[in-house]
Amino acid sequence: MSATARSDDARPNLKVHPDGTVNGDGPSLFIVGTTLLRHRGRIARWALAGGVLAGLLVLTKPTLYTTTASFIPQGSDGGRSGLAGLAGQFGISLPSSSDALSPDFYVRLITSRELLDGIVRDTVPVAEQANRRVPYLTLLGAKGSASNRREEDGVRRLSKMIRASASKTTGLVDFSVSSQWPSVSAAIAAAVIAGINDFNQRLRQEQAGAERKFVEGRLAIAGTELRAAEDRLEAFLRNNRQFANSPDLSFQHDRLQRDISLKQQVFTSLTQSYEEVRMREVRDIPVITLVEAPVVPAAPDPSGRVLSVLLGLLLGAFAGVVLATISESVSRRREAGDRYADEISGTLGAMRGTMLRPVQRFKERMLS
């Protein structure tokens, strides 16, 4: 047996099936490469169409300007309440921070209707329009026949322009506002901060007012009880001028004196609490510490046009490769006499004709 015969016998028996697979294992790389080269024009057209579509979508998006701001809620130490309770058991008083709210609360507050409702009802001077004051509802493009529906749509649109987050480690609250006008972005951010301060002050004053009413009632009762205890001691001293020589009268005197001392302590404590709550009720110090104040952005946000076009090209090319592979597979099965492939080809042709019919009519009208 010659060397040539032995070489021919050792050569693997390759069989290419109509669907493009080799020995039933999978498509040959040569067949895949041939398919891509044969349909390179279609793939290029799909890639170009994807890039053009992505470019049009990016161009239709408005240019946005973003303003950022951040603040820290005062007294946001979560461990002080437990420490104050422990110290109170030993008679030690620590400053209270019960009026502080968590950073997560402010994140929800920033995009809530409670805060944004007052903003959308206001007007804003737009520097890009010669400082003309324009209602927020007009700038936001709010729609609705009734005023309340228009305000609700404006709040919904405004909430989408605001992004807020909170840091668990530092307690810092960050938020940003994006709009088509630099001055409007800064104005909305400033209005959000002002709204937070107003909300905090209103909430604090309402709480202090409720506490003041309660302390006033308790103070009046404590004063009445103190005066009654003093009257009882006065009556005892008037009727018993020489009580020191009588053990029973001395004990009664000491008991009346202790009662007055206890009621005096309660009255003094309530008086101090009353003065503190009155000061809290009229205090207008902001509860948040501004870390980064909002400023007018000097440059627009990155549009990402190049990245979007590249992504569109890749997606279009991928669609072209998939369609080319399907078309080549159907053609090979049709050549092998597969009647199902003929039916699929006919259906796809009919669908293509239906989809391209409006385009053909448009061309005929343009040429006529």
> Do residue 199 and residue 272 come from a single domain?
yes
Chosen domain end from 259, 292, 325: 292
Q: What is the mean pLDDT of the chain?
A: 77
> Do residue 124 and residue 177 come from a single domain?
yes
> Do residue 287 and residue 161 come from a single domain?
yes
DSSP for 198-233, written as a single string: HHHHHHHHHHHHHHHHHHHHHHHHHHHHHHHHHHHH
| pLDDT given at position 193 | 92
| pLDDT given at position 323 | 73
| pLDDT given at position 212 | 84
Nearest to 126 by CA among 262, 355, 296: 296
Residue 96's CATH number:
3.30.1890
Q: Which amino acid is at 179?
A: S
| pLDDT given at position 76 | 42
**Strand 173-179 versus strand 65-73 pairing type:** antiparallel
- 327 C-beta neighbours (distance < 10 Å), count: 16
Burial of 18 (0-12, 13-18, 19+ CB in 10 A): middle
| pLDDT given at position 96 | 47
> How many domains are there within the chain?
2
The pTM is what? 0.60
46 vs 26: CA distance, rounded Å:
26
In terms of residues, how long is the chain? 368
> Do residue 196 and residue 266 come from a single domain?
yes
> Do residue 122 and residue 237 come from a single domain?
yes
Identify whether 315 is part of a domain. Answer: yes
321 vs 313: CA distance, rounded Å:
12
> Do residue 28 and residue 139 come from a single domain?
no
Give strand pairing partners of 65: 179
Chosen domain end from 257, 292, 327: 292
> Do residue 317 and residue 188 come from a single domain?
no
Identify whether 37 is part of a domain. Answer: yes
Identify whether 250 is part of a domain. Answer: yes
| pLDDT given at position 299 | 83
> Do residue 259 and residue 117 come from a single domain?
yes
Identify whether 349 is part of a domain. Answer: no
Give the pLDDT means over successive 10-residue stretches in the chain (368 positions).
46 48 54 72 79 73 86 60 42 48 89 90 88 89 84 91 89 91 92 90 82 86 89 86 81 88 88 83 75 87 72 79 73 66 65 64 69
> Do residue 153 and residue 238 come from a single domain?
yes
| pLDDT given at position 188 | 93
346 vs 367: CA distance, rounded Å:
30
Nearest to 287 by CA among 111, 101, 94: 101
> Do residue 145 and residue 239 come from a single domain?
yes
> Do residue 48 and residue 138 come from a single domain?
no
| pLDDT given at position 39 | 73
Q: What is the dihedral of CA 152, 154, 157, 161, to 10 degrees?
A: -120
> Do residue 55 and residue 70 come from a single domain?
no
Q: Are 115 and 109 in contact (CB under 8 A)?
A: yes
Domain that holds residue 248: 65-292
Identify whether 352 is part of a domain. Answer: no
Identify whether 201 is part of a domain. Answer: yes
Distance of CA 143 to the CA centre of its chain: 23
Identify whether 299 is part of a domain. Answer: no
Identify whether 303 is part of a domain. Answer: no
